[in-house]
C-alpha cells in the first residue's frame, strides 16, 4: 500500500504539471516556445503513464485511466507547486525550473532504487527532465538578466512560488519506510545539491533567493490548494460526462 | 515577434558521418534559444544526432539572375563527372 501511494505521488506530480503545461498549447508567445512547452508536457504525460500503469499493477483493480480520470482532489498526491496556475510566461518558467531542478535530483536518486520498476522509470525519465531543466534554466537567465521589467516580473514569480518548495524535501512515514527498504529516496539528502543549482542559476539570472518563510504542506496526504479542483474538472470532463466512453 | 528576434537556419545531421542537411528555420533571440527551438521543432521524431543553427543573415546566397553565368557553363563539361571510373563495392553516400 505504501508503495502504491509512493508511486502515485510521483505519477501525479508529472500528470498535473503536464496538464498545466498543456494549457499553453496555442497560447505561447512564439510558435517555437509553444511546441517546446507542449513537448515537455508530453514527456510528463509519458512519465505519468508509466507510473500509473505500474500503480494499476500494484492495485490489481483500477486501470491507469481510472487513476487519472476517476479520482477526486483528495485522492491526488501531486506536489502543490505543480497545480499552481500558469500565470504569465515568467511564472510558468519559474515553476518549471523549480520543479525540474528538484525532479532531476530526485530521479537521479530514484534510479538507484531497489525497486526495478521505479529505477527503470527514473533512469528513462532522467534524460527528459535534464532537458526540462536546461530549457527552463536558460529562460531564467534570459528573463532575469533581461530587461528591468522582465527581471522584476520573474523575481515576483520566484517570491510567490517559493513557499511551494518546502514540500520537495518533506519526509513522512511512507517516505521513511520506503527509504529504509532502499526503494524510496531520502528527499532531505538532495537539498544541498538543489541549493547549488538554485543559487548558481539565480546568480546568473541576477535574481535574489527568497527567504524561507511560511512553507506550504499537505499534498502527501491529499490536501491541495483550490486550483487543483478546477484543473481536474477540465482534465476529467469527458470521463465524468460520458463515463467509459469509447471511440 | 520582437525586434530582438532573428531567423536562424537549421541543419540536422541524421547520423554520425553524414552531412548536415538544411531542414528549415526558427525564430530566436540568442544562440542557445535557437538550438533549443531547433531541437524542439525538428528532432521530435528521432531525426537527428547533431544540430547546427546559423543566423540566416550569415548565409550568402547566389542570385537567380546570376544563374546562367554561374551554372550553365558546366552543362557541356561531361569530363568533370567521375563516370569513367568503376565504383568500388561497398562505397556508400557518393
Domains of chain A: 2-241 (1.20.1260.10)
Within a domain: residue B43?
A: yes
Within a domain: residue B94?
A: no
CATH at residue B23: 3.10.20.520
Question: Exposed (0-12), middle (13-18) or buried (19+): which is B2, by Cβ within 10 Å?
Answer: exposed
Within a domain: residue B87?
A: no
Helices (H), B43-83: 67-71
Partner residue opposite A36 with nearest CB, options B5, B27, B36: B36
- The pLDDT, as a whole number, for residue B2 is 63
Within a domain: residue B42?
A: yes
Partner residue opposite A138 with nearest CB, options B5, B36, B41: B36
Range of the domain at B48: 6-80
Give me the residues paired with residue B21 across strands.
B12
Contacts of B1 in chain A (CB under 8 A): 30
List B residues 6-65 in contact with A (Cβ-Cβ < 8 A).
26-30, 32-33, 36-37, 40-41, 44
A41-81, pLDDT tens digit by residue? 999 999 999 999 999 999 999 999 999 999 999 999 999 99
Within a domain: residue B70?
A: yes
Contacts of B5 in chain A (CB under 8 A): 30
Q: Which residue of B has its CA nearest to A32?
A: B37
Number of domains in chain B: 1
Cell numbers given for A16: 498535473
Integer Cα distance of A6 and A77 in angstroms: 9
Specify the long-range contacts of residues B73-80, CB closer than 8 Å, at least 24 apart: none
Within a domain: residue B63?
A: yes
Partner residue opposite B41 with nearest CB, options A35, A138, A142: A35
Within a domain: residue B12?
A: yes
pLDDT of B1 over the 60 cut: no
- The pLDDT, as a whole number, for residue B73 is 85
Name the E strands within chain B. Answer: 6-13, 21-28, 50-55
Integer Cα distance of B12 and B19 in angstroms: 8
Per-residue pLDDT of chain A (247 residues; tens, 9 = 90+): 899 999 999 999 999 999 999 999 999 999 999 999 999 999 999 999 999 999 999 999 999 999 999 999 999 999 999 999 999 999 999 999 999 999 999 999 999 999 999 999 999 999 999 999 999 999 999 999 999 999 999 999 999 999 999 999 999 999 999 999 999 999 999 999 999 999 999 999 999 999 999 999 999 999 999 999 999 999 999 999 999 888 7
Amino acid at each position: 500500500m505504501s508503495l502504491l501511494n509512493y508511486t502515485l505521488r510521483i505519477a501525479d506530480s508529472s500528470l498535473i504539471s503536464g496538464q498545466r503545461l498543456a494549457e499553453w498549447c496555442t497560447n505561447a508567445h512564439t510558435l517555437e516556445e509553444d511546441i517546446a512547452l507542449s513537448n515537455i508536457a508530453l514527456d510528463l504525460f509519458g512519465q505519468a503513464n508509466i507510473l500509473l500503469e505500474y500503480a494499476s499493477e500494484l492495485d490489481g483493480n483500477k486501470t491507469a485511466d481510472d487513476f487519472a480520470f476517476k479520482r477526486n482532489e483528495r485522492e491526488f498526491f501531486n506536489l502543490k507547486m505543480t497545480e499552481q496556475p500558469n500565470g504569465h510566461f515568467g511564472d510558468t518558467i519559474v515553476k518549471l525550473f523549480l520543479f525540474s531542478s528538484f525532479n532531476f535530483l530526485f530521479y537521479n536518486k530514484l534510479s538507484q532504487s531497489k525497486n526495478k520498476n521505479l529505477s527503470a522509470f527514473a533512469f528513462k525519465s532522467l534524460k527528459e527532465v535534464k532537458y526540462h531543466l536546461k530549457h527552463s534554466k536558460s529562460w531564467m537567465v534570459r528573463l532575469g538578466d533581461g530587461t528591468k521589467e522582465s527581471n522584476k516580473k520573474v523575481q515576483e514569480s520566484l517570491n510567490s512560488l517559493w513557499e511551494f518548495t518546502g514540500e520537495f524535501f518533506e519526509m513522512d512515514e511512507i517516505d521513511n519506510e520506503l527509504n529504509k527498504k532502499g526503494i524510496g529516496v531520502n528527499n532531505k539528502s538532495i537539498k544541498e545539491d538543489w541549493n547549488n543549482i538554485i543559487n548558481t542559476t539565480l546568480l546568473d539570472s541576477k535574481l535574489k533567493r527568497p527567504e524561507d518563510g511560511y512553507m506550504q504542506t499537505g499534498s502527501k496526504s491529499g490536501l491541495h490548494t483550490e486550483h487543483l479542483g478546477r484543473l481536474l474538472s477540465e482534465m476529467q470532463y469527458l470521463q465524468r460526462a460520458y463515463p467509459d466512453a469509447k471511440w | 515577434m520582437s525586434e530582438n528576434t532573428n531567423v536562424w537556419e537549421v541543419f540536422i545531421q541524421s547520423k554520425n558521418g553524414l552531412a548536415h542537411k538544411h531542414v528549415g528555420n526558427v525564430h530566436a533571440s540568442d544562440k542557445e534559444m535557437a538550438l533549443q527551438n531547433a531541437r524542439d521543432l525538428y528532432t521530435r521524431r528521432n531525426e537527428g544526432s547533431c544540430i547546427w543553427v546559423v543566423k540566416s543573415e550569415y548565409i550568402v546566397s547566389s542570385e537567380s539572375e546570376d544563374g546562367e553565368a554561374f551554372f550553365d557553363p558546366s552543362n557541356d563539361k561531361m569530363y568533370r563527372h567521375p563516370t569513367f571510373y568503376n565504383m568500388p563495392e561497398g562505397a556508400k553516400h557518393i
